[in-house]
Structure 1
């Protein structure tokens, strides 16, 4: 029996919706084989001779956009990192030089430094946050040479920079009683639910000791929150990324804030070595004196993303109500529209590419609706050796609306979804060979 044109169209749509696929991504906006800096005069040669700059020891870990600048962090995993907090301009070349922030004088640390250069010196940070008031929030671990012989240069602290003036607005030293010997602060997210910028709360995962530090700017006070859901899942500690097998027991490493509801929000979180998603109300977290049993019972287990979905970072897009994750073992990014049930069909892998997204380490949604992703081949950097004739570090970006178009994260009809599916390329999500080629 012959189908008329209308029936043929819907039959095609039906078939397309049954075909699994992962979208390919756009070419990287920025990429580097090794990171270099906008040195002044002959400073580069001097830094190389002294060991203050070892190009192969610089690996980017975090990103955040503000207007025409993209901030890029370099944790001091190894010796030879001149500046941990840096920025580039969006209209830069494809492989731009990094500018230390807020200045060379503040950011630079020599290989033999005993202490911070100034009150504005960020020693070692992973991920940073730009809030809606035009401020850059940074949590500094204050250590150097983390992968080998850790040296404490400064106490862990929270920095707040005014991006309009590039001046340090405030610095808060994290109290000793909030720290543990294993403390490692990997990210920071800021909650401003009222009209006043000073009424802000920062949530800081302590990945190393399975806790969350909450900081109130208005009160200039911080407290420690602990919960058993902040710990890693021993069944999700095995990884294979870039052809390298390793085991991590990392706890909570990244958090994201959902929409405002009656002056509070849901804080979405996950341990790195876990495939589960959790949430808890900021109403509990903002109360320094909340009973421990309320914290214990206040976590909601959202669901499980599925095998090999351990995630380093996450961020939330308030316009589309979508939570994004960077998935290490999938070399890609997944999403979830929080208006839909948390089940695997609604948490799709939407971007995956074996080379360009090998070890996706950070993800951010900026204030203009664009998604930013940083990949850095961290498993090679820490456990093997990078090939510095290849491109190793990449920053990719696209509008959120285009990234989620035609996926379960988009609010759309089945017909629109199918036609979107027909117009976008697909690529294989399985990385059979990780050659490391560009």
Structure 2
């Protein structure tokens, strides 16, 4: 048993070392200003460095998209990117460009392509960037509705806006907070796609059909938070959240042509699953929706997760572990159990408050940590590194863990037999 513990410790150290050094890290988020623009933005407070906190990432070719919701005043641009070959503290470039990525001097939108405030984004296999825009500014202080909530789809090959759908009032609620977006492409036709958007604030999933340019709301009692999982302690700060469904990830298509959406509320330790056959059906009976969400299992105490993603190459679901400053995983080909959902990474410095995780099409995993609890509830020390982007091959991160196709545990049992 002692030898087994030593081997497990070495595996854990090996996996953590694969993330070093961080691909990007910043004390404060800065931008690729030109000329005297930075000084001007600091003077008129359109840029307040300490108020910028990233929450989402997504990779496309030589770019890494980084989102900054407008929590507070002084956010130049919510949707941004850095070049992968840039320095470790690379400055952000507003997307799609400086003019349209920012708000005007009076706080209004510049163009139809301006994204006001987004948490997380999604890059699909058709080289499109999907963005859900809440349209608000200064969320944590004096909320201002700058534009209507919408979903935007960009062609990343030329940065053109392919579609912008403004949500109708009946799709949202007064408390809606749109956080994550997962995209399902039906068959080989890029035009037939569905976006599944988590509404963390009002416990629902908003479904958007690109082909029909239509959206509808799906509700289920499992989309609500678990009162037993509302207590957090991260970075030495105790807080309570009642956040509902906040993230979802899609499996590969099944034999029936539909995918499974794996989802969870932030304030929960349970994992749920729902077929997109129900989600795609705008007129699905409420009884079918009520019974259509399956409880897969419980990850155990203090396993609340803000985000998740599935790596198609390994068929592994990765999810953030906020209270453990780490990353968990589950191989979808194995039964869901605490033994099969291990904590594979944990570092109280590098990964304090892991907020987003994304698998790219090249088999790499990207993790964003941002010390969000300090940002929201306690002054951050901006003399230290606060925001990090870590990356490593998914195969390296799961090697020797229960998430591996043939894990160390399986090989050990095989030898003993």
Instruction: Return the alpha-carbon distance in structure 2 between the equivalents of residues 417 and 66 of structure 1.
Output: 36
Instruction: Return the alpha-carbon distance in structure 2 between the equivalents of residues 135 and 380 of structure 1.
Output: 34
Counterpart of 2:290 in structure 1 is 296
Counterpart of 1:314 in structure 2 is 308
Contact kept? 1:52, 1:110, Cα under 8 Å: no
Counterpart of 1:179 in structure 2 is 172
Select which of 93, 96, 110 maps to 1:99.
93
Q: Does 1:349 align with 2:312?
A: no
Give the CA RMSD over aligned residues: 1.6
Large movers: runs of 4+ above 2 Å: 11-26, 413-418
Contact kept? 2:400, 2:407, Cα under 8 Å: no
Counterpart of 2:323 in structure 1 is 329
Contact kept? 2:402, 2:408, Cα under 8 Å: no
Aligned pairs (5 A) from 1:100-249 = 100-110=94-104, 112-113=106-107, 115-249=108-242
Counterpart of 1:30 in structure 2 is 24
Q: Which runs of 5+ in 1 are unaligned?
A: 1-10, 419-438
Contact kept? 2:352, 2:371, Cα under 8 Å: yes
Q: Does 1:276 align with 2:270?
A: yes
Alpha-carbon displacement from aligned partner over 1:344-373 (angstroms, at most 9, x marks no partner)? 110000010000000000000001110000
* TM norm structure 1: 0.90
Flag the 1:111–1:351 CA change in 2: closer, same or farther, 3 A: farther
Q: Which runs of 5+ in 2 are unaligned?
A: 413-417
Counterpart of 2:333 in structure 1 is 339
Structure with higher Rg: it is: 1
1:12 CA drift (Å): 8.6
Give the 3-state SS of the residue equivalent to 1:401 in structure 2.
Answer: helix
Alpha-carbon displacement from aligned partner over 1:226-258 (angstroms, at most 9, x marks no partner)? 000000000000000000000000000000001
1:20 CA drift (Å): 10
Instruction: Return the alpha-carbon distance in structure 2 between the equivalents of residues 274 and 164 of structure 1.
Output: 38
Give the 3-state SS of the residue equivalent to 2:112 in structure 1.
Answer: coil
Q: Does 1:81 align with 2:80?
A: no
Instruction: Return the alpha-carbon distance in structure 1 between the equivalents of residues 80 and 144 of structure 2.
Output: 21
Contact kept? 2:116, 2:135, Cα under 8 Å: yes
**Matched residues, number:** 407
Structure 1 window deviating more from structure 2 (39-48 vs 125-134): it is 39-48
1:193 CA drift (Å): 2.8
Instruction: Return the alpha-carbon distance in structure 2 between the equivalents of residues 179 and 414 of structure 1.
Output: 47
Q: Does 1:256 align with 2:249?
A: yes
Aligned pairs (5 A) from 1:61-76 = 61-76=55-70
* TM norm structure 2: 0.95
Contact kept? 1:56, 1:388, Cα under 8 Å: yes
Instruction: Return the alpha-carbon distance in structure 2 between the equivalents of residues 87 and 149 of structure 1.
Output: 27
Give the 3-state SS of the residue equivalent to 1:351 in structure 2.
Answer: strand
